[in-house]
Amino acid sequence: MAGVMGWPVMHSRSPKIHNYWLGKHGLAGAYMPLAIKSDGLHAALRALPALGFAGCNLTIPHKETAFDIVDRVDPVARRVGAINCVVVAPDGSLEGRNYDGFGYVQSILDAWPEWRADAGPIAVIGAGGAARAVLVSLADQDAKEIRLVNRTPAPAQAVAQEFGPPVKAVAWDHRHAALEGTAMLVNTTSQGMAGQPALDLALDKLPASALVSDIIYIPQETPLLTAARLRGNRTVNGLGMLLHQARPAFHAWFGVMPQVTAELRAMIEATI
């Protein structure tokens, strides 16, 4: 068994994704939403081995606080500063991992197999938790220059300082100009999400050859992606990141590396 711990958690698509794969691979198991408040996380995680769980995903508000509870944290999760997957080891100890960055890169490759992180400068908008996973994955794919733009200067400067090259902070006022000569633009902010205003970013300086990605998947096409598509840029939305981060987690728990099929994608799209 596995599940996702969060509060709130009932909106999570993860049960649908993992239960689809359990069925597909004929495995006798179940993946369930686990509504756990912050003050219950320690007891809930420690109960996993006794309950026969192989592990769990973590979502808001647990991704950072789990650091103080698990027994080990893998290097990627440590660099990201967040745990999105907990694996129960044979001895009952808990290991924290983070597959969000893997999911991000795989979602881009899934849509554009010829994509390379080192094709040219990359502009990343936002410096929050989601941005950190994207930055780690792009740096590990050998990105040569990442222009990190955040509305508030301090978080971008802190992340640039912590990660070092290829990440460098660019002032919010320079965000439009920062797109000049880029091969890729990524939005990791909440702007453009359903109920939120569009990201305030003019694409005039963005090369037509640039790939534009948004980690949002509700709506499936944000105003940023619509604007990019209409001027001829290639685009990728955030649904692939959600689907692909689940693959190595499923593998860690159930021993099979599952695939993101058109059927699975359509099934999740139907819930959006």
Interacting residues with ligand ATR between 97 and 126 (CB under 6 A): 126
| 252 part of the interface to ligand ATR, by CB under 6 A | no
Quick check: 151 binds ligand ATR (CB under 6 A)? Answer: yes
| Residue 162: half-sphere exposure toward Cβ, Cα within 13 Å | 15
Is residue 128 a contact point for ligand ATR (CB under 6 A)?
A: yes
What residues contact residue 229 under an 8 Å CB cut-off, 6+ apart?
221, 235
Active site residue 144: no
Among residues 155, 181, 207, 248, which is the contact residue for ligand ATR, using CB under 6 A? Answer: 155
d(CA 3, CA 231): 41
Should residue 150 be labelled a site residue for ligand ATR when binding is judged by CB under 6 A?
yes
Our finding on whether 181 is near ligand ATR (CB under 6 A) is: no
CA distance 51 to 113: 41
Question: Which of 130/260 has CB closer to ligand ATR?
Answer: 130
180 near 151, Cβ under 8 Å? no
Report the nearest approach of ligand ATR to the CB of residue 129 (Å). 3
Closer to ligand ATR by Cβ: residue 98 or 188: 188
Span near ligand ATR by CB under 6 A; candidates 111-119, 182-190, 205-213, 256-264: 182-190
Is the separation of the CB atoms in 244 and 79 below 8 Å? Answer: no
The only residue of 19, 65, 141, 190 in contact with ligand ATR, by rule CB under 6 A: 190
Contact flag: residue 130 with ligand ATR (CB under 6 A): yes
Q: Which is nearer to ligand ATR, 15 or 126 (CB)?
A: 126
Question: Under 8 Å CB-to-CB from 226, ≥6 apart: which residues?
Answer: none
The verdict on 153 binding ligand ATR (CB under 6 A) reads: no
Contact track, ligand ATR, 46-65, x by CB under 6 A: --------------------
Distances (CA, A) of 129 to 101, 221, 227: 11, 22, 25
The answer to whether residues 74 and 21 touch, using CB atoms and an 8 Å cutoff, is: no
Residue 266 and residue 68: Cα distance in Å, rounded? Answer: 38
Q: Of 218, 172, 177, 170, which is closest to residue 195 (Cα–Cα)?
A: 218
Q: Which stretch binds ligand ATR (CB under 6 A): 11-19, 91-99, 100-108, 145-153?
A: 145-153
Q: Out of 16, 24, 37, 63, which one is annotated catalytic?
A: 63
CA-to-CA dists, residue 200 to 14, 138, 140, 187, angstroms? 31, 24, 29, 11
Give whichever of 155 and 219 is closer to ligand ATR, judged by the CB atom: 155
Residue closer to ligand ATR (CB basis): 130 or 264 = 130
Closest by alpha carbon to 5, among 20, 19, 43, 21?
A: 43
Catalytic positions? 63
Provide the binding-site residues for ligand ATR, judged by CB under 6 A. 126-131, 150-152, 155, 188-191
